[in-house]
Structure 1
């Protein structure tokens, strides 16, 4: 038999394969229901190795790690007697679950050269949150573009790969090309949450706040709040409201889908999105209740007690600093490790200096990281947290023109109307 991407696959029944294909489509679209589809596939055929691997990946993305680990162990046992494509497919996920991202990344990149349409394996290196995006290396955006560029010709009129490549274009500054390809992808599948997400990024990079806000508001109305991207898309909605000067809209989006009390997504998204929008709200002049910061600091301490995931650590440090939890902040600064731990340390110290309004000390720490923020992970829109923080620190030191110059040269999309109190457009 063959899966929906034309890969030969060892499975005992058409029914199991149909559920597997549904699981793949749901997962690639970041739609709710992938776990249930893969679960149905292995219920129809318990010896279905790739079905168990798909289930493991879907469980992982829904935060059910004990079940996910059991599923990948089952897949590994079953895959031993399969052909090389299926064995390597499973091994990619085995390495991911084993906490060996560099080996997993190398294997995925090698695997897709021989089996480019093995979409569920290829997905591991796509997106800014994939194995390339979280590599901690300079040039990761160019590497991601090269990766999706090589895969795109093998997929034809495929909505998923189009959306992946469109994001790569967006993150390397090719906004018009990104938008055109994203619209083509969404025309084929308008309920692709990844596509809606990446279109929001393209609209953000184009500075098209009004259109972005309208589009995302309409799209979210029919998106299951259990979908993996619901919380993050709510962050985009809050960000649009902030740039639109709608304070009520900011808090409504945060309380409905972003913050720890509302979001149903992965802890890394809950932490990073909430910390970022709260501080960006403060920069824009909104008053953030202290209990929001203290609650987020407790959330970070619960889900990320140890350092190692640099993107999460950077935001956890922000939450601890704003909440006044110096011991937690100091622990991150002292122990930060992972793909960009060397950058997390000065960022953590900068957050501490900002919390006590020591702007000169904050500047001295931030200049250590501003030349290589891409190593910390996340999209350009997410890393604007640091761009705006840096500009605000300059402003606080009386270096207003330097603050404007920083945004104009580094993030011109923000320079026309900087969302920072006291830093209006240059006359």
Structure 2
């Protein structure tokens, strides 16, 4: 029977109850809240032939880090979708391409699909966010492309809290902080438990330098967020970053040890690796001692989950972890084999991390100079890429190039320039 989902799309599903569970799962998934997997499982238990229920379950399993299960489920969805209409077949194929690692083809199909079916939110989501198919394209201008993408979709969604939060992030990452904040607050008023909106609000507050308000808002919001949800570890990273900038070392370590590091976080390995590496090195830059055991454990984690190169955002943080742990063989493997959407930047960056670990500041500057003008291609948000901005400034300071360090921060990241969390900056 043909019914309509919460976004008005026609769906082949046997019962309204099965569709209700699907719609509930979609809301939880788009809000990055916990429980989407269970909701989608209920929908297909009630209707085993519900193709899009299987698609949604596959996508939610992927975001829960259960790739083998996700691939099995999407295969079943493809079998079920053969006789469905064009939208449902393409909907299925977009997720199938993503799960098979064909990101470029998935991106092309998503763009084509949403032009015809703009309110197909589960597909539209694939290219939204800095961790989506545009965000991890490795292309110059990806932030502008993301803004163009969400700008085109926004009019089709009306007062929809999810799309508002997606567009607000695009505004934030292109420097439109006031407009971003206004739209994000509207999204949160409609759904206060939208973790994506809470996350992006933290980005806007970071870009505006609102340390006290940002820290209080996020810590309050996190107190009611399930630690099994996909963004819990990353939001904890933001919390630890606020504590670091606030000079609250005790709170920073507490958050690292309870919500971010390999022994604490329950999220995706890419977030565990990148968030832990970033906060540890930013703590070092700020003058806090980081135990060698922390770097050693993180290097082992990176080797376990990312032994081969190809995901550039993960590779840059794996290289940092190996360098700081003194695992030269692992570091050189990244240098020698770097590939992926920004593999050409990973090679000099990995060599730079090695030089920094050896305190060879001249070589570090030479290597970083090849990267610093194109950090957007590596992926991640501006807040995440500040790891590189601060590292570059620190290397300049170590070489006695204080005026150049100040100039770079003032021009490139003015929000950090007045009081950057770099111990060498004030000495």
- With the length of structure 2 as denominator, give the TM-score of the two structures: 0.99
Show the counterpart of 2:137: 135
Show the counterpart of 2:381: 379
Contact 2:398 2:424 in 1 (8 A): no
Shift of 1:422: 2.3
Aligned with residue 244 of structure 2, among 242, 251, 256: 242
Contact 1:12 1:48 in 2 (8 A): yes
Show the counterpart of 2:311: 309
1:154 pairs with 2:156: yes
For the residues of structure 2 that align with 1:334 and 1:46, how far apart are their CA atoms? Answer: 47
Show the counterpart of 2:64: 62
Query: Within 5 A, what are the aligned runs for 1:211-290?
Result: 211-290=213-292
For the residues of structure 2 that align with 1:396 and 1:285, how far apart are their CA atoms? Answer: 13
Show the counterpart of 1:168: 170
Aligned with residue 53 of structure 1, among 47, 51, 55: 55
For the residues of structure 1 that align with 2:214 and 2:255, how far apart are their CA atoms? Answer: 15
Contact 1:418 1:424 in 2 (8 A): no
Show the counterpart of 1:292: 294
Show the counterpart of 1:321: 323
For the residues of structure 1 that align with 2:260 and 2:140, how far apart are their CA atoms? Answer: 29
Shift of 1:98: 1.2
For the residues of structure 2 that align with 1:291 and 1:66, how far apart are their CA atoms? Answer: 32
Show the counterpart of 1:415: 417
Shift of 1:66: 1.0
| Partner deviation per Cα, 1:116-175 (whole Å, 9 max, x = no partner) | 000000000000000000000000000000000000000000000000000000000000
Show the counterpart of 2:88: 86
Aligned with residue 396 of structure 1, among 382, 395, 398: 398
For the residues of structure 2 that align with 1:121 and 1:250, how far apart are their CA atoms? Answer: 37
Shift of 1:88: 0.4
Shift of 1:204: 0.3
For the residues of structure 2 that align with 1:375 and 1:122, how far apart are their CA atoms? Answer: 22
Aligned length: 425
For the residues of structure 2 that align with 1:416 and 1:10, how far apart are their CA atoms? Answer: 57
For the residues of structure 1 that align with 2:79 and 2:210, how far apart are their CA atoms? Answer: 50
Shift of 1:424: 3.5
Shift of 1:20: 0.3
Show the counterpart of 1:182: 184
Q: Secondary structure at the match of 2:4?
A: coil
| Partner deviation per Cα, 1:334-363 (whole Å, 9 max, x = no partner) | 101000000001000000000000000000
Unaligned runs of 5+ in 1: none
For the residues of structure 1 that align with 2:48 and 2:381, how far apart are their CA atoms? Answer: 39
For the residues of structure 1 that align with 2:424 and 2:400, how far apart are their CA atoms? Answer: 11
Show the counterpart of 1:21: 23
Q: Secondary structure at the match of 2:80?
A: helix
Show the counterpart of 1:12: 14
Show the counterpart of 2:99: 97
| Partner deviation per Cα, 1:252-307 (whole Å, 9 max, x = no partner) | 11011000000000000000000000000000000001000000000000000110
For the residues of structure 1 that align with 2:16 and 2:395, how far apart are their CA atoms? Answer: 61
For the residues of structure 2 that align with 1:397 and 1:183, how far apart are their CA atoms? Answer: 44
